[in-house]
Amino acid sequence: MEHVRDLTLLPKAHLHLHFTGSMRPSTLLELADKYGVRLPDALTAGEPPKLRATDERGWFRFQRLYDAARSCLRRPEDIRRLVREAAEEDVRDGAGWLEIQVDPTSYAPHLGGLIPAVEVILDAVESASRDTGLGIRVLLAANRMKHPLDARTLARLAVRYADRGIVGFGLSNDERRGMARDFDRAFAIAREGGLLAAPHGGELTGPASVRDCLDDLHAARIGHGVRAAEDPALLRRLADAGVTCEVCPASNVALGVYERPEDVPLRTLFDAGVPMALGADDPLLFGSRLAAQYEIARRHHGFTDAELAELARQSVRGSAAPQEVQDKLLAGIDHWLAG
């Protein structure tokens, strides 16, 4: 029988983590108390809320919970705490690199505007990285429910702060709304500025949304992308182009994209040669962090330790980490497997 290695000791890169969704539940309760925010019962129950976002009502409920949590982040010290704690959680789970995704427009009203919000976030990332030793970078994400012109503003801002730790540009929220091509100009601005294009696609809608991300936004990574498993030609395309899919198994089940952990097509993607980076998405709402995603691959999909090590390598190679950081993490993965 194979020696079962500790997955929290496996070095890995975390490429799909949303800002508010990274919060510890205990921190949310403290901040809500501090600001007198009455949270929905689902956020105070002490266990992950039951979410089914594959219909409009379910997605609206998910967004309502997310917005309630976000309303508790009001001051620079709240932002600093959130990033530091997210970094501490990831270090505990074996991450050596984190790329956290944020739409700063959501925090701008409390933090004095869009530019101050971006600067507060980047300062928080810098100090959390220094304090924890975790390499942290930022993806600014546009909201596909908002006007594409807003996305262009964000893309320009992202490029402007590329030397302060912004490495990519994303597109989040309900992919059933807003066509990918509406945001092509924003992504062109980001790419021309040297940023990685990493829009969400292939989660709530099928393979077509992944194709749109590739064709219209020239995605280098896809947030989720799991529904590509339904289209063998698309799987080949992703594998041939080396486009990494940021797959979040616990999130997929919590949102009702798949019924059970074993239904998430991890094995289909892996066997097709599509690079994957397992991610926790929104641990606050889905109840599990980074190492738990690797545990799902092991327990529900029969991934061996050698295959789990390969998943970790894929996460590192798909990251925007400098080469020396990648080399160090890859060496650590080999050491974990040899142990």
Q: Tens digit of pLDDT for each residue in 73-117?
A: 999 999 999 999 999 999 999 999 999 999 999 999 999 999 999
Mean residue pLDDT across the chain: 94
Query: Is residue 27 one of the residues assigned to a domain?
Result: yes
Look at the block and give the residue holding tokens 């395309």.
Answer: 237
Query: Is residue 229 one of the residues assigned to a domain?
Result: yes
What number of other Cβ atoms are within 10 A of residue 186's Cβ?
25
Query: Is residue 174 one of the residues assigned to a domain?
Result: yes
CATH number of the structural domain spanning residue 102: 3.20.20.140
φ and ψ at residue 107, rounded to 5 degrees = -100, -15
Q: Which of 255, 338, 317, 220 is nearest to 62 (CA)?
A: 255
Instruction: Give the mean pLDDT of 246-261.
Output: 93
Query: Is residue 206 one of the residues assigned to a domain?
Result: yes
Query: Is residue 1 one of the residues assigned to a domain?
Result: no
Percentage, residues of the chain above pLDDT 70: 95
8 A C-beta contact, residue 124 and residue 80: yes
Residue-level pLDDT at 60: 74
SS3 call for 149: helix
For residue 1, pLDDT beyond 60: no
Query: Is residue 317 one of the residues assigned to a domain?
Result: yes
Q: Which domain holds residue 276?
A: 7-338
pLDDT band at 118; cut points 50, 70, 90: very high
Q: Please count the structural domains in the chain.
A: 1
Query: Is residue 2 one of the residues assigned to a domain?
Result: no
Residue-level pLDDT at 54: 61
The residues assigned a catalytic role are: 203
Region of poorest pLDDT, from 37-51, 68-82, 151-165, 254-268: 37-51
Region of poorest pLDDT, from 34-48, 62-76, 273-287: 34-48
- Digit-coded pLDDT (tens) for 184-234: 999 999 999 999 999 999 988 899 999 999 999 999 999 999 999 999 999
